[in-house]
A and B are shown apart, each in its own frame.
Chain A
């Protein structure tokens, strides 16, 4: 099955071509929903088959001894320019298999869900074509065995993200249109990609290769200056901040909620935004060689986690809350990577993919049932109308809040523990506060949506449970959110054989871990104590949120009136968008208009062009007088010429 891994990218590509080229015809050829079903199931099955292939490759790889688990599948020679030989090859190893399972597995469920969610959309076929294209690009990103294939996927998912954010291009979104949100995502990502490209150039210059295996083996053996590693790691991390929505480039992700909800679940929560985490984790040896940058990664992750979580406290759009929650959780992943716990960060990628996809799909189910109303202040008491959605959403809330026994608990405490033992007490404290905030805003969201009085207008809204095609993926994801964490039981619970997930990924990170030389001795008692504190904090936050928003909503109002300044600051997202608008966008527009356009372009560029033209015009005005129009004078010149040539010939004889 390892050799068939190319099918996991080929099938979604074929699905994209099929639905993209023939989708409209199919939809028109069949009556009612049949056409949509055909399109939807073709789109889903390509991803589903891909998942089975990845699963087969995974089982095959597990059967191999640990040192033979990294296999390269060569496909074809992609670029051959001078000394540069780039092969289009896939690397099938523990890390790429883990990510592939997440992407194709969760991707398949979201595809199936979309059949229900996108029902009767006029561009149903276009949606599935884009989704398949996204899976194609994402699988290339994950499976590529060199930085160039990774970059191909990296740009591909960016394109799909852009296309899908602006999918409903004719709809309004907040103050603008969805196209503006799509553009914002694209442009902000471009800034990150620029850093990523610089990193790639520097890698090529330093290691003379772009293939992972060669680069990383050279990185761990060759004597290379720490400053070089630092620059490469920093550039790569800039790329990651763009794609994975970290400070300072996180502003695009909340706006990305303009896209349909399955897109938010698939691209902007479960898969694409974790590409940065994957890349950092893949290049772990480079980051481990630059301790200063590791600290930057950890601090940026931590800052993002708490800033985004605090914004999430007061947002009223159901998807906005989840978007900031995603940013915050991504911050957690970078915190883990920054303190050297790469496997913990990937573990959190996985559990987060389960419960965040579930949360988004649940939110989608609510939005679907509420006729596209997204304001949680206008929900309330939906529990009895949508029991399945409520139950799965409730499980996801428990999981993300880190309630013991669910997946989120294991991955989050793994990260917090590593932050404490490798980073320090402050890292742990901020992380734990973030976890508390997370628990609070999730249960605020849950209470406002499903509990309390019904605040919607019964004449306009008729809440209803979503069809089975939507609720079954929810149930599967809820199951995964519960049990997903047990493959990564921390040592303190698992006993002898330790953390299975960490053990599985260990060969990938072994060089980086040896270089970092950390993991000081800490007692299990300490770990349990910290765990107990963070769980207690989360549980009290849950209790507080339920109590306030379920039973005494007026308290929330009182508190927000009391701290009006802080409340407005959070409600307006720390005015980051406004600051960027005033500090970056406006100056660039002003400079472009006043200087680059009116002065540089009009005066300088046009001056050169027009100057050359008028120079030619003037000088030819003088020279043309030579043409008298009298044939005899031409003949004279011709004769003189012939005479000179003859003279020269005679002399040279």
Chain B
């Protein structure tokens, strides 16, 4: 483990985050967007774990558990919303769900 430098972890994490952002901004399918959000969360988790191990401080790892818990709860709510939208609109394409305006 100690042979792999910390930069590798951080670069991987940053890459995952960027993939997540790109997915959120560019993909049309709500479920894919949702998965991209999870990806961003996990990249953040990876950073926390990396620094925790690097600094020998366990607080970061504890924090990750919390993030996972909240993410699980959020996934349940988010998926429920998407299902509800699909029932109403017969689609999960977010550029077709544009009622959020004047």
List the B side residues contacting A632 at CB < 8 Å: 24-26, 33, 94-95
- Tell me whether A80 is interfacial, beta carbon within 8 Å: no
B24, B33, B101: the one within 8 Å of A627 (CB): B101
List the A side residues contacting B100 at CB < 8 Å: 629-631
Question: Judging by beta carbons under 8 Å apart, are B25 and A639 in contact?
Answer: yes
Question: Judging by beta carbons under 8 Å apart, are B94 and A624 in contact?
Answer: no
User: Taking CB as reference atom, which chain B residue is nearest A627?
Assistant: B101
A627, A629, A636: the one within 8 Å of B25 (CB): A636
- Tell me whether B4 is interfacial, beta carbon within 8 Å: no
List the A side residues contacting B25 at CB < 8 Å: 632, 635-636, 639
Question: Judging by beta carbons under 8 Å apart, are A639 and B21 in contact?
Answer: yes
**1/0 contact string of A592-632 vs chain B (CB within 8 Å):** 00000000000000000000000000000000100111111
Question: Judging by beta carbons under 8 Å apart, are A630 and B95 in contact?
Answer: yes
- Tell me whether B3 is interfacial, beta carbon within 8 Å: no
B14: shortest Cβ distance to chain A, in Å?
A: 13
Given contacts A635-B24, A635-B25, A636-B25, contact A630 B102 (CB under 8 A): no
User: Taking CB as reference atom, which chain B residue is nearest A621?
Assistant: B102
List the B side residues contacting A627 at CB < 8 Å: 101-102
**1/0 contact string of B12-27 vs chain A (CB within 8 Å):** 0000000001001110
A629, A635, A639: the one within 8 Å of B99 (CB): A629
Task: List residues of A (456-505) whose CB comes within 8 Å of B's CBs.
Answer: none
Given contacts A636-B25, A639-B25, contact A630 B99 (CB under 8 A): no
**1/0 contact string of A167-181 vs chain B (CB within 8 Å):** 000000000000000
- Tell me whether B88 is interfacial, beta carbon within 8 Å: no
**1/0 contact string of B76-102 vs chain A (CB within 8 Å):** 000000000000000000110111111
List the A side residues contacting B101 at CB < 8 Å: 624, 627-629
Q: How many residues from A make CB contacts under 8 Å with B?
A: 10
List the B side residues contacting A639 at CB < 8 Å: 21, 25
User: Taking CB as reference atom, which chain A residue is nearest B26?
Assistant: A632
Given contacts A636-B25, A639-B21, A639-B25, contact A631 B94 (CB under 8 A): yes
Task: List residues of B (48-94) whose CB comes within 8 Å of A's CBs.
Answer: 94
Bound state CA distance, A635 and B26, in angstroms?
A: 10
Q: How many residues from B make CB contacts under 8 Å with A?
A: 13
Bound state CA distance, A422 and B54, in angstroms?
A: 112
- Count contacts between A and B, CB distance < 8 Å: 30
Bound state CA distance, A630 and B95, in angstroms?
A: 6
B3: shortest Cβ distance to chain A, in Å?
A: 31
List the A side residues contacting B24 at CB < 8 Å: 632, 635
User: Taking CB as reference atom, which chain A residue is nearest B102?
Assistant: A624
A430: shortest Cβ distance to chain B, in Å?
A: 82
Bound state CA distance, A631 and B101, in angstroms?
A: 10
Bound state CA distance, A635 and B97, in angstroms?
A: 15
Bound state CA distance, A624 and B100, in angstroms?
A: 12
Bound state CA distance, A635 and B37, in angstroms?
A: 12
A402: shortest Cβ distance to chain B, in Å?
A: 88
Bound state CA distance, A415 and B33, in angstroms?
A: 105
A322: shortest Cβ distance to chain B, in Å?
A: 76
Bound state CA distance, A630 and B97, in angstroms?
A: 7
Question: Judging by beta carbons under 8 Å apart, are A630 and B98 in contact?
Answer: yes
Bound state CA distance, A630 and B100, in angstroms?
A: 7
List the B side residues contacting A624 at CB < 8 Å: 101-102
**1/0 contact string of A620-653 vs chain B (CB within 8 Å):** 0000100111111001100100000000000000
Bound state CA distance, A636 and B95, in angstroms?
A: 13
List the A side residues contacting B102 at CB < 8 Å: 624, 627, 629
List the A side residues contacting B21 at CB < 8 Å: 639
List the A side residues contacting B26 at CB < 8 Å: 632
List the A side residues contacting B97 at CB < 8 Å: 630-631
List the A side residues contacting B98 at CB < 8 Å: 628-630
B39: shortest Cβ distance to chain A, in Å?
A: 15
Bound state CA distance, A627 and B21, in angstroms?
A: 21
User: Taking CB as reference atom, which chain B residue is nearest A624?
Assistant: B102
A301: shortest Cβ distance to chain B, in Å?
A: 74
List the B side residues contacting A628 at CB < 8 Å: 98, 101
Bound state CA distance, A635 and B27, in angstroms?
A: 12
List the A side residues contacting B99 at CB < 8 Å: 629
A626: shortest Cβ distance to chain B, in Å?
A: 9
B21: shortest Cβ distance to chain A, in Å?
A: 7
Bound state CA distance, A623 and B17, in angstroms?
A: 33
A617: shortest Cβ distance to chain B, in Å?
A: 13
List the B side residues contacting A629 at CB < 8 Å: 98-102
Bound state CA distance, A635 and B23, in angstroms?
A: 12
Bound state CA distance, A624 and B102, in angstroms?
A: 7
Bound state CA distance, A631 and B97, in angstroms?
A: 9
List the B side residues contacting A630 at CB < 8 Å: 94-95, 97-98, 100
Bound state CA distance, A635 and B30, in angstroms?
A: 14
User: Taking CB as reference atom, which chain B residue is nearest A625?
Assistant: B102
A630-B95, A639-B21 given; 9 more Cβ-contact pairs under 8 Å:
A628-B101, A629-B99, A629-B102, A630-B94, A630-B97, A630-B98, A631-B97, A632-B94, A636-B25
Give A contacts to B, CB under 8 Å: 624, 627-632, 635-636, 639
Could you jot down 23 A-B contacts, CB within 8 Å? A624-B101, A624-B102, A627-B101, A627-B102, A628-B98, A628-B101, A629-B99, A629-B100, A629-B101, A630-B97, A630-B100, A631-B94, A631-B97, A632-B24, A632-B25, A632-B33, A632-B94, A632-B95, A635-B24, A635-B25, A636-B25, A639-B21, A639-B25
